[in-house]
Amino acid sequence: MNASRSTANDFVCEAREHLALVEAGLLAAECGQDIAAQIDRCFRGMHSLKGGAGLLGLRNIRLVANRAENLLDALRAGTIPVSTDCLESLLVACDRLGSLIDDLAGSDDADIAATLARLDQCLQTAAPLAMRLSLDLATLEDTTDRVTGFFRRLIELAEVASPRVALSAIDVAAPFARPELRYEVDLLALGTPALIAERLGVAETCLVVPDMPAGAGPQPIAGRAPCPPSPLVLRSYDLALDLRRLADRGVASFFQELVAACRVERVELRIEDPAIEQGLPRGAVLYSARLETTLSTAELAARLGLAESDFRALDEPPPYGDAPAARAAAAEASAAAVESQTRPASASPPVSSAPPVAPSAAGAPPVARSTAAGLPSATVTPASTTAAPSAAGSPALSVAARAVPAAAPVGLPAAPAESPSTAKASSAVFAETDRSGSVRIQVELLDRLMNLAGELLQTRNELASSRQAQDPELAGALQRLRMVSSEMQNTILLARMQPVGNLFLKFPRLVRNVAKQLGKQIELEVQGTEVELDKSVIEMLSDPLTHIIRNGCDHGIEAPEERARRGKPTTGKVTLRARHEGRRIAIEICDDGRGIDMHGVRRKALALGLRSEVELDHMDRRELMELILLPGFTTTTAVTELSGRGVGMDVVKTNIERLGGSLSLSSTPGEGTVVLLHVPLTLAIIPCLLATIDNGWYAIPQKDVEEIVYLHGEQIDERLEVAFDQEFTRLRGQLLPLVRLQDVFAHPQPLSGSDRRAIIARHHGLDVAAAAQRAASGSRAAGSQRTASGSRAAGSRAAAAVAEQPAPRAAPVAARELFCVVVRGEHERYGMIVDHVHATEEIVVKPMHRVLRGLGCFAGATILGDGGVALILNTVGIAKHAGLAMADPRTQPLALEGRDRQEQQTVLVFKAGPQERFVVPLHDLRRVERISADRIDRVGDREFVTLDAGVLPIVRLDQSLPVSAIEPSDEYVVLLPVWHLRPYAILATAVVDSIFGAVSVDTDGIHADGLVGSTQILGEFALVLDVFRVESQLPKWTPPALPGPESKLRRVLLVEDTQFFRQVVRHHLESAGYRVTTVEHGAAALVVLERETFDLVISDIEMPVMDGWTLAQEIRRRYPERKFRMLALTTLHREEDRAKSLASGFDRHEVKLDPQRLLDAAAALLETRHERR
């Protein structure tokens, strides 16, 4: 293999795509969907694959692909019936090709004999059959069309040789005798005599296979010696001819004769001395071609009127099978020929019928040429069996493929042809992509781009922290830089996205195989193939999905007889559906099989000792079902080849969870099972909670965090309990083991019991026995105290919902405050004690260094906004290290919270307007923050809040919902929901409480876009928000250019009594990036000025209470240092008014209202002020 690595990589990617399409096409053909079109597509895919392999010199791949292509060609031409056996052979060939492509370097050493033999076997059934046709043309002569039609069909169907026509001798004495016009011809055709006869529209008896007993056919015509029977073998000749020799007899008639007598390939036309400026070429016009015919050299020469020496017989006729390949090769030649001289095209009718392919030959590199799919110009003679089907559709395809040689989208079909929600597997699979707009990019390259974007962001941060950054102009630029670089990161992430359809492609085959093996009839329906996921997620989903689908087919779908007995359609159905759900993707795998047998699960769990009888009695359906997800569980009594080997759903679940996803099961006995997966869109960026431990920064993946408990002062003593060598706290009546991360990190070896006791002794300052005793009494007290608390939230949960501002860190031992992050490990929940929790951030995950593999406590590292590196915690590994993880679930007590999690959830109750209460599930929120009113920036009619250096648009619920408006206040609460496309904040006035429990939502009473419904909570009526709908109602604008941090905005006090002008002027100022406060008269302005500072005061003159001149005088009197500029904006336009304004202390007097003039004036005033400073 001498090709460069990148070419080889391109080939591999492309070849896999071709294989996937071929495979899907074969499966669709097997189902009987539009067989001809499917086979045609398969043929083109296989052809391209072969071309690429040939180019790279991959002999074995080319051989297998070539043979498969031949078979497909035969199927396409209808010369072999499309049989299951053929399709099966082709699928096997696809598999073999797949394995060869996987190991490109070793492919030429692989043994492909079996695969080739199998394909050959299929092809042999298609070996052309020699036949002799003998019929009376008189039987055809009813209409002229019948005769011409007959001959046309004849040429299409078979290679024709040695035609003979004879008029039989008739008895002239007999009246009205008709002479017999007997036509006899030797045929070489693919198919049975019956098939050929039927296609020709003649009686089957007219066709004789030579070695059939003579006499079955008509007698040879008397009076004429039959031609020596041609040995019906295709022979190849090279023809080289100067067309000028044909000048007198006519080129057209020669070519007509030529195409009738032979199959013509590798046509080439050479014109010597093409000096166009000297007029038309006069030199030799050399025509050369490869001919295939059954005729002998002499016959051929005689028929074409040429000398025998014009033909050169080729020793070895190419096997039938190589024909398409040869044709493709000929394509280039003919393309070149057509390009160099279009005149012969008219001389040679078949060539002229081909579309001009000149552009392809002109600029395309060789790769493109040889991989281009079935070329129409390849077959010059219409007698060829393959000409007709491909001529119509392929020119566009081949030209397109040439235009962008190495092009392939990062993902496969970007948009399926049909409506995505209903697209069946086959149609989605075949959504052929317009590849012209895409390029293939290496993931590494994207990763590097991602790094660079991060670097850009960091450079900005460095810049921002320098002193010059205080300059407002620079601040604006920095803000934009920040937005651009994060937008860049997002875009790069998008480039990593691939449609999940790429993954789904392989499942039709899987289902088919499984169905076949099990003797079931199963149909797979695929929906949502267009949903896009990060490449790495797609890769990691492959195995779990395979397992689930296989399980569904094996355990779920019943045998046809059983289905019939139950009154179901005999064909079972498995549905694979992907859809967006917030920032996650939901993938649903449904089958309409027998469902999960609860009694079976119960019996099995008991038999395996996974759960005790008492435990099982207390489980509801869903909990029982989830037992299936435990290691070692299988319900089928018989272990089949496919599933039921005990390595099952637990592995699937673990893998999905490793992805940061979740898996849930539901099933209705007799009706089917639904497996629902939720996976994140991407692995590369995950939301994390940042925490500090010992001044080091750590990131805890948000998916692992359930809540945060904040303890301070005496609470710490009250709530921390010690049992033996483990610290606990009580959370809603449940014991929650605690892990002190500081100590975990201090011990390189997993903590032993004595380590843990030592840690406890250090933190509690007493010996373990006493601690345990204290804990025992403490827990009793705590237990009785909390029995009545029910579903009401404890104070700690409010702390979880509202991020507290971290206080200065105290020494760990004497800590009077304590942050406990409640996380989920593999099987258990526990609390991580950290020094502080900070914001939630979307971080870019980088793997740990290669030599640090095996550090269980860390899942990776990330670069923070300030350029520091933080380690990402692995909650499962930490639990193990701390000695918490009880690996064997059999010994683990039933997870008590499991039941709670099913139907109950934590919701946040909050108020926005004065009238309503709102409810939002806590898991829909990223965080909740209290902000003071002045942190809301207004730009135009939009509001923003800057949090964590990000600018978030603010949503007021009364804007989209029929609810009361928020009353102005000094302090607000903003809710930051989990977002899908862009982050935003919901403005609220107060958090009422967070409630844990079952919330029953009434979806009928109230309908509004953005609401799920209503509920009764805390004894009051509340509206349940649908944050995703709220997000979807966000206006489709991007943040304006200058919504920078409020301190960087110029602040303007607008004093104006007319409401109309107040709004108009304000709007203009805000659009220009000023922060505007409005008051209605001079007196109010003075009040505001006492509280806040401004860069500019713009005031009307004629106002109630205190007019503008008085205001100006008063301002200048009170603030002699002239900290701000003043502009009079009035309808008074006389010169004396202007003079009076300036005398009063205004810096400028402008007449209402030319907006641009106003803005210019304001800018000019602020500019001079700036310079003065």
Partner 1 sequence: MSDGERLVCTFRIAGRLFGIDVLAIRGITADRRYTPIPHTPPAVIGYTNLRGEIILAIDLAQMLGLPVAAAVNPHAQLILLRPSVGEACGLLVDEVYDVAPVSADRVDATRALESSELLEDRPWVVPQALVAGIGMLPQGLVVLLDPAQVLLQLERIRSL
Q: Tokens 């392919």 identify what position?
A: 357
Instruction: Write the single-letter amino acid at 490.
Output: N
Q: Which of 192, 288, 353, 451 binds partner 1 (CB under 8 A)?
A: 451
Q: CB-wise, 376 or 454, nearer to partner 1?
A: 454
Q: Which of 452, 651, 936, 1159 binds partner 1 (CB under 8 A)?
A: 452
Q: Which of 150, 151, 633, 745 binds partner 1 (CB under 8 A)?
A: 745
Q: CB-wise, 394 or 862, nearer to partner 1?
A: 862
Q: CB-wise, 367 or 700, nearer to partner 1?
A: 700
Applying CB under 8 A, does 870 fall inside the site for partner 1? yes
Q: CB-wise, 356 or 812, nearer to partner 1?
A: 812
What does 1114-1158 look like in DSSP terms, one character per residue? HHHHH-TT--SEEEEEES--SHHHHHHHHHHT-SEEEETT-HHHH
Pair 489, 454: CB distance under 8 Å: yes
Alpha carbon separation from 470 to 36, 475, 476, 1043 (Å, rounded): 71, 7, 10, 16
Q: CB-wise, 768 or 848, nearer to partner 1?
A: 848
Q: Which of 215, 854, 893, 1019 binds partner 1 (CB under 8 A)?
A: 854
Query: Pairing between strand 829-834 and 734-740?
Result: parallel
Q: Which of 127, 782, 863, 1142 binds partner 1 (CB under 8 A)?
A: 863
Residues in the chain: 1173
Q: Tokens 């909670």 identify what position?
A: 689
Applying CB under 8 A, does 746 fall inside the site for partner 1? yes
Applying CB under 8 A, does 869 fall inside the site for partner 1? yes
Pair 1045, 1038: CB distance under 8 Å: no
Applying CB under 8 A, does 684 fall inside the site for partner 1? no
Q: CB-wise, 850 or 1134, nearer to partner 1?
A: 850
Q: CB-wise, 59 or 846, nearer to partner 1?
A: 846
Q: Closest approach of Cβ 872 to partner 1, in Å?
A: 11
Q: CB-wise, 452 or 624, nearer to partner 1?
A: 452
For the record, the structure tokens of 895 come out as 């997870």
Applying CB under 8 A, does 867 fall inside the site for partner 1? yes
Report d(CA 1161, CA 1144) in Å as an integer.
Answer: 18
Q: Closest approach of Cβ 756 to partner 1, in Å?
A: 17
Report d(CA 1084, CA 39) in Å as an integer.
Answer: 82
Q: Closest approach of Cβ 856 to partner 1, in Å?
A: 8
Reported in sequence order, the residue ranges of 725-835 that DSSP labels E, i.e. its strands, are 726-731, 734-740, 817-824, 829-834
Report d(CA 758, CA 827) in Å as an integer.
Answer: 26
Applying CB under 8 A, does 20 fall inside the site for partner 1? no
Region near partner 1 per CB under 8 A, out of 451-459, 956-964, 1009-1017, 1053-1061 = 451-459
Q: Closest approach of Cβ 853 to partner 1, in Å?
A: 8
Q: CB-wise, 451 or 960, nearer to partner 1?
A: 451
Q: Closest approach of Cβ 454 to partner 1, in Å?
A: 4
Q: Closest approach of Cβ 865 to partner 1, in Å?
A: 11
Q: Which of 652, 656, 801, 861 binds partner 1 (CB under 8 A)?
A: 861
Region near partner 1 per CB under 8 A, out of 732-740, 862-870, 910-918, 952-960 = 862-870
Integer Rg of the chain from CA: 41
Q: Which of 147, 484, 651, 855 binds partner 1 (CB under 8 A)?
A: 855
Q: Closest approach of Cβ 1074 to partner 1, in Å?
A: 36
Q: CB-wise, 259 or 457, nearer to partner 1?
A: 457
Pair 68, 46: CB distance under 8 Å: yes
Pair 994, 800: CB distance under 8 Å: yes
Q: CB-wise, 646 or 868, nearer to partner 1?
A: 868
For the record, the structure tokens of 99 come out as 């394995």
Pair 1017, 906: CB distance under 8 Å: no
The 1096-1125 contact track toward partner 1, x by CB under 8 A, reads: ------------------------------
Q: CB-wise, 187 or 744, nearer to partner 1?
A: 744
Applying CB under 8 A, does 633 fall inside the site for partner 1? no
Report d(CA 616, CA 904) in Å as an integer.
Answer: 21
Region near partner 1 per CB under 8 A, out of 266-274, 474-482, 556-564, 868-876 = 868-876
Pair 163, 225: CB distance under 8 Å: no
Q: CB-wise, 642 or 864, nearer to partner 1?
A: 864
Query: Pairing between strand 685-693 and 662-668?
Result: unpaired
Report d(CA 766, CA 774) in Å as an integer.
Answer: 10
Phi and psi at residue 561, in whole multiples of 5°? -65, -40
Q: Closest approach of Cβ 3 to partner 1, in Å?
A: 24
Region near partner 1 per CB under 8 A, out of 245-253, 801-809, 867-875, 908-916 = 867-875
Task: Give the H/E segment covering residue 332.
Answer: helix 323-340
Report d(CA 311, CA 288) in Å as an integer.
Answer: 10
Binding residue count for partner 1, defined by CB under 8 A: 27
Applying CB under 8 A, does 458 fall inside the site for partner 1? yes
Q: Closest approach of Cβ 449 to partner 1, in Å?
A: 10
Q: Closest approach of Cβ 578 to partner 1, in Å?
A: 33
Q: CB-wise, 79 or 485, nearer to partner 1?
A: 485
For the record, the structure tokens of 1051 come out as 């602040």
Q: Closest approach of Cβ 858 to partner 1, in Å?
A: 7
Applying CB under 8 A, does 445 fall inside the site for partner 1? no
3-state helix, strand, coil in the chain (%, to 5): 45, 25, 35
First to last CA, the chain: 73
Q: CB-wise, 25 or 454, nearer to partner 1?
A: 454
Region near partner 1 per CB under 8 A, out of 278-286, 319-327, 740-748, 771-779 = 740-748
Question: 1020 in helix, strand or coil?
Answer: strand
Sheet-wide strand order for 726-731: 705-712, 817-824, 829-834, 734-740, 726-731, 720-723
Applying CB under 8 A, does 487 fall inside the site for partner 1? no
The 814-853 contact track toward partner 1, x by CB under 8 A, reads: --------------------------------x--xxxx-
Applying CB under 8 A, does 461 fall inside the site for partner 1? no
Region near partner 1 per CB under 8 A, out of 96-104, 278-286, 741-749, 962-970 = 741-749
For the record, the structure tokens of 79 come out as 């010369």
Q: Closest approach of Cβ 750 to partner 1, in Å?
A: 10
Query: Pairing between strand 950-955 and 985-988?
Result: parallel
Applying CB under 8 A, does 484 fall inside the site for partner 1? no
Alpha carbon separation from 977 to 556, 700, 939 (Å, rounded): 38, 19, 22
Q: CB-wise, 751 or 1076, nearer to partner 1?
A: 751
Alpha carbon separation from 877 to 454, 653, 855, 956 (Å, rounded): 28, 17, 8, 42
Residues 6+ apart with CB under 8 A from 232: 130, 161, 186, 188, 210, 294
The greatest distance separating any two alpha carbons of the chain, rounded to the nearest whole angstrom, comes to: 143
Q: CB-wise, 696 or 806, nearer to partner 1?
A: 696
Reported in sequence order, the residue ranges of 276-433 that DSSP labels E, i.e. its strands, are 285-293, 311-313
The 691-730 contact track toward partner 1, x by CB under 8 A, reads: -----xx---------------------------------
Pair 457, 486: CB distance under 8 Å: yes
Pair 682, 537: CB distance under 8 Å: yes
Give CA 144 to chain center in angstroms.
Answer: 58
Q: Which residues bind partner 1 (CB under 8 A)?
A: 451-452, 454-455, 458, 696-697, 744-746, 748, 846, 849-852, 854-855, 857-858, 861, 863, 867-871
